[in-house]
Amino acid sequence: MKKALKALFLQPLIGYSICIRETLFPITGNDEEELETDFLPVLLDHFPTTTSVKNLYHFAQVSYRRQFARFDYGVDINLDMYGYPMPPKYEVENVKMRVALFVGQNDFLSTVEDVAILKHNLPNVVQHLVIPRRKMNHVDFVLGLHMNEYLFPYIFGVLKTYESENVFSVSHPHNGRVR
């Protein structure tokens, strides 16, 4: 089945139209200029291995309930696992590490509004940036052709700000410091 779908999707007009325009962009945001058509075979070779069905289901739960909470297994299992009928919310206010948040204006998965809520709840946001490029979508962060112009300078700026600090050194509970 996967071979048949890949053969269909690799047809120049059909593949890009079905796989990208009709399947990917309605979920992630449309930005055809940033997604190289030659990349489609590579994408199909690895799809859908980038996540699990459970992870997609959890994303749907979070989106539907509008709460960033642990996975909902149903009342009986939730009671057994969490001690509550509903899964507990993630306590992002307890995150102590520095966080930089970057969001695209055309990102349907991590919207500008959702990232603003996250920023409000995280205690140590060192940068929150809505990428100026209006078409920046969720896929562009990983597969965009021109991220060296639109995204990387901001990431490098954050890294440069903290490069003199040893922020990548962590304490390991069994061995002391780990680099």
Closest CA to 37 of 16, 19, 17: 16
Please, what is the average pLDDT of the chain? Answer: 81
Instruction: Report the C-alpha gap between 69 and 175 in whole angstroms.
Output: 32
Residue type, 61: Q
Output the pLDDT for position 94.
Answer: 96
pLDDT digits (tens, 9 = 90+) for 123-154: 999 999 999 999 998 888 888 888 999 899 99
The three-state secondary structure class of 110 is: coil
Output the pLDDT for position 51.
Answer: 75
Strands 99-103 and 125-130: parallel
Q: Domain limits of the chain?
A: 2-50+91-178
42-48 long-range contacts (CB < 8 A, ≥24 apart) are: 43/19, 43/143, 44/5, 44/6, 44/9, 44/10, 44/19, 45/6
Would you say residue 163 has pLDDT above 90? no
HEC profile of 86-106: CCCECCHHHCCCCEEEEECCC
pLDDT digits (tens, 9 = 90+) for 65-80: 888 999 999 999 999 9
Work out the burial of residue 44: count CB atoms within 10 Å of its CB; fewer than 13 is exposed, 13-18 middle, 19 or more buried.
middle
Q: What are phi and psi of 103, to 5 degrees?
A: -140, 145
Kindly report the pTM of this predicted structure: 0.72
Closest CA to 121 of 158, 89, 91: 91
Work out the burial of residue 92: count CB atoms within 10 Å of its CB; fewer than 13 is exposed, 13-18 middle, 19 or more buried.
middle
